Structure 1
Amino acid sequence: MAQIVITAIGSAGDVHPFLAIGRTLMQRGHRVVFCTHPPFAPLVEAEGFAFVPIGTAQEYEEALANPALWNPRTSFRVLWKVIAPSIRPHVDALSSLLTDDTVMLGSLWAFAARIVQEVHGTPYVSVQVSPSTLLSGHSPPTHKRFTVPMWLPLQVRIASMRLIEKAVLDPALGPALNGVRTEIGLAPARRILGKWLHSPDGVLCLFPDWFAKPQPDWPANRFLCGFPLPVEPSATPLDDDLADFLSSGAPPVVFTAGSTLIDEAAYFGAVEETLRLTGARAIVLTRSQPASLLANPGVRVRPFVPMHTLLPRCAAIVHHGGIGTAALAFASGIPQVVTPFAHDQFDNAARIEKTGCGGRIDGPVNGRAIATALRHVTRDTGVAAQCVIARQRIVAEPNACVAASQYIERFVPSVPAVAELESSA
């Protein structure tokens, strides 16, 4: 078949969807090479993929542990300082991997793959894990620091987004990116996030149109495959204590901040206050050991529990706004309360709220606000109805990993044309 070279840059929420798609591609007979950060090597190799590191484990762990990465005022600048030095080495690494039947697949920050496409003509499918980085004037993304208001006339919104690109984004990204391009002999890139990063071959969006309606100024060659949830052959068993806990009382509420670096004292304090005010039982997913929560008989603390097994048995989930967590909540048919901290989480939170399947809390996390939101989403019959609809949509939709794989196969010269996929335009 073909060699698929995947570049996945970011946190676990950015990497896991590519693992699921890569698994499906391998099942369909393709060879998969997976380029990502070293801490993900065990997961990559467990799938049987060839692993190529991007940067070092120390660099990655230091970046995730930097509070500035999770501050909306500084996150973009800090993230770019981590990514920029890796572009040229990864261009060289990708170039050494190319074969006649290679197709590249890359996440938002896979700038090296986009450059390799320009230099070698290798087919490349750029991927949007979430809709927030599709910089649309028709439907501007929601951000903590600044959101272009929808009440502005369309042409003003479009002009505002272009101004943000010209005055903020290109000056931040351009010097490092275009320095590499100059070394290679390429002209400078402009409208880097608004246009250049989108592959002229294909743009794969890992979400359905009911979560983010396609806009006229999104790339015309886009394809929305839906949420790429992992396909599990059977339910992953829970540990005995957790299974007994779930069976012994009312369905609990799940609390998770994902891989976000948080103020743990404030966050766990908010969880405790929420539980006092609501009387709810809880499962808190964290690698920490919060003593007061561990001592609460109505709480279980775990570093990890498979969400596809856990969520259908829970009353609701309070989470950070990661799109993977949101997708699993939609698939389980449970309401969501979103407490976004940084990056695409604010836009995801706004879209979750718009679906009617939950609510969002802007501003510092506090127990009173979470308790109020939880009461609403767990008691409102309208929210319950929308959660059922979301679950039914996901069940009825084609398997997103298969749909994504079929789309990627369009660009493999050695693979016969697959059945034409319905356009998501």
Structure 2
Amino acid sequence: MQYILISYGTAGDIFPYLALAQALRQAGHEVQCIATPNMAPHAAQLGVPFHALMPDADYQAALDAPQVWDVHEGFYCLWRYSWPWMQRLPALLQQLAANRDTLLVCHPFLVPAMNLWRERQTGVRAAALFLAPSNLRTLHDPLLLGEHRVPAWFPFWLRRMLWRAGERKVHFPQMLADLNQARAALGLPLLSDLIGHFADGVELALGMFPDWFGPAKPDWPAHFMHAGFPLHNPDAQAALPPALQAFLQQGAAPLLFTPGSAYRHGRRYFDIALEVLRRNQQRAIFLTASQAHLPPLPPSVFWQDFVPLSQLLPHVSWLLHHGGIGTCAEGMAAGVPQIAIPCAYDQFDNGARLQALGVGWSLPMRRLSAKRLLALLAQPPAHCRQIAARMASAPSSMQNCLGALAQLAARSTSGMQSHGQ
């Protein structure tokens, strides 16, 4: 059995697929990866054949666009940059998987492009990894649309209306029109629901989070199952850089500020962070790949481009971040108090779940101020240690994935559902 893993996005999106590639290889399976070019060096480190979904220049251009982090424009911005290349995925899959026993494991965002090829084949099964609860649409509580919580008393008919309005706001009808144009050209039935196809277009939907973080909802697909947090860190055993080690030893445990591996518009974020540090007389580490958006830093602040969070978090007092699901999970595993500062995508929902669990706070980026951050830092959350202990005793998410994928691989093609509905 050949497994082809198809991913898209920043570090938090590709790391779970790297963890799965490593587990599949260790179990003796043949694995290939198709993804955005940032996955290439990590796949090479694992010895996994890699195929770029798009040129690095186009991927970098998408990340440079300010709209990519806008709550309303972000999805459509990614789609505009990526859709021309996503349409080439069928030809790549034909090259890699034709006449071979293959199981596909896909990022939900790429399921529509994957199925342009798969729906014209016979017996090719597929799974998708849903990295955060809000990647699956629901009408049930807790329900957030962007940063706004839908009141519990809103009836389902009103929630459906809000969802449809939200989908129009983020340009899903335009994306669906692009997809249906490609499907019509291939003689495939047209779709009426793009978000639904992310989950209904596969035979297995794996939630890469535990049930206590995101319980299954009645309107999630029947083929959904929880696998748990993957917690993959490349170079997790490597020592921290000597200069960083020296900084950590020079004083009290610092705060860690990171807006995410691909955020490139953080000057205001870091200016506010510096003001907080000045008022509290605290030290900090700024973890960000780009120095271009950093203000001049005092000696009490250390810049680092990348380091495995599992290595760094035991040495910090607070983790202030963008609300990405991978960073949330690492913070919970380390038992570190968190403040999520979300601006788009699943980040708002992830931050709200941290707050509900009592392991952190959530403050939307548009409301970020030194005054508000100082108020939250004065209120350490109460349940960090309990949740860290719960995560330490959790079963392996990769073993859960391997078991579920083995069952899917063994399933007869007669049980496959139609993907064009």
Task: Give the TM-score, by structure 1 length.
Answer: 0.89
* CA shift digits 1:204-225 (9 cap, x unpaired): 1111111111110011111111
Q: Is the 8 A contact 1:333 1:387 kept in 2?
A: yes
Distance in 2, matches of 1:55 and 1:264, equals: 26
Tell me which residue corresponds to 1:390: 387
Q: Is the 8 A contact 1:70 1:260 kept in 2?
A: no
The alpha-carbon deviation at position 42 of structure 1 amounts to 1.6
Distance in 1, matches of 2:376 and 2:2, equals: 47
Distance in 1, matches of 2:56 and 2:242, equals: 34
Give 1:408's aligned amino acid. L
Tell me which residue corresponds to 2:103: 103
Distance in 2, matches of 1:360 and 1:331, equals: 18
Distance in 2, matches of 1:281 and 1:243, equals: 14
Distance in 2, matches of 1:410 and 1:233, equals: 31
Give 1:62's aligned amino acid. A
Distance in 2, matches of 1:166 and 1:341, equals: 19
Tell me if 1:316 matches 2:318.
yes
Label 1:150 to 1:169 Cα distance change in 2 as closer, same or farther (>3 A).
Answer: farther
Q: Which residue of 223, 237, 253 corresponds with 2:255?
A: 253
* CA shift digits 1:251-297 (9 cap, x unpaired): 1110000134354331221111110122221111123064532xx23
Where structure 2 has 5 or more consecutive residues not aligned to the other structure, the ranges are 413-421
Report the more deviating stretch, 388-397 or 243-252.
243-252
Over the matched positions of the two proteins, sequence identity in percent amounts to 31
Distance in 2, matches of 1:220 and 1:414, equals: 16
Report the more deviating stretch, 358-367 or 311-320.
358-367
Structure 1 segment 276-425 matched on structure 2, within 5 A: 276-286=278-288, 287-288=290-291, 290=294, 292-293=296-297, 296-362=298-364, 363-377=366-380, 383-384=381-382, 386-413=383-410
The alpha-carbon deviation at position 29 of structure 1 amounts to 0.7
Tell me which residue corresponds to 1:421: none
Where structure 1 has 5 or more consecutive residues not aligned to the other structure, the ranges are 378-382, 416-425
Tell me which residue corresponds to 2:181: 179
Label 1:360 to 1:233 Cα distance change in 2 as closer, same or farther (>3 A).
Answer: closer
Distance in 2, matches of 1:239 and 1:334, equals: 21
Structure 1 segment 3-402 matched on structure 2, within 5 A: 3-98=2-97, 99-110=99-110, 111-120=112-121, 121-139=123-141, 141-144=143-146, 148-158=150-160, 160-161=162-163, 164=166, 170-195=172-197, 197-230=199-232, 235-286=237-288, 287-288=290-291, 290=294, 292-293=296-297, 296-362=298-364, 363-377=366-380, 383-384=381-382, 386-402=383-399
Q: Is the 8 A contact 1:165 1:194 kept in 2?
A: no
Give 2:115's aligned amino acid. R
Label 1:88 to 1:297 Cα distance change in 2 as closer, same or farther (>3 A).
Answer: closer
Give 2:125's aligned amino acid. P
* CA shift digits 1:345-381 (9 cap, x unpaired): 111111111111000112342222212212212xxxx
Aligned length: 406
SS across alignment from 2:104: strand
Distance in 2, matches of 1:19 and 1:196, equals: 21
Task: Give the TM-score, by structure 2 length.
Answer: 0.90
Label 1:200 to 1:239 Cα distance change in 2 as closer, same or farther (>3 A).
Answer: closer
SS across alignment from 1:58: helix
The alpha-carbon deviation at position 244 of structure 1 amounts to 2.6
Give 1:376's aligned amino acid. Q
RMSD: 2.3
* CA shift digits 1:56-110 (9 cap, x unpaired): 1111000100001112232122122123222321011112211432100001211
The alpha-carbon deviation at position 167 of structure 1 amounts to 8.7
Report the more deviating stretch, 191-200 or 117-126.
191-200
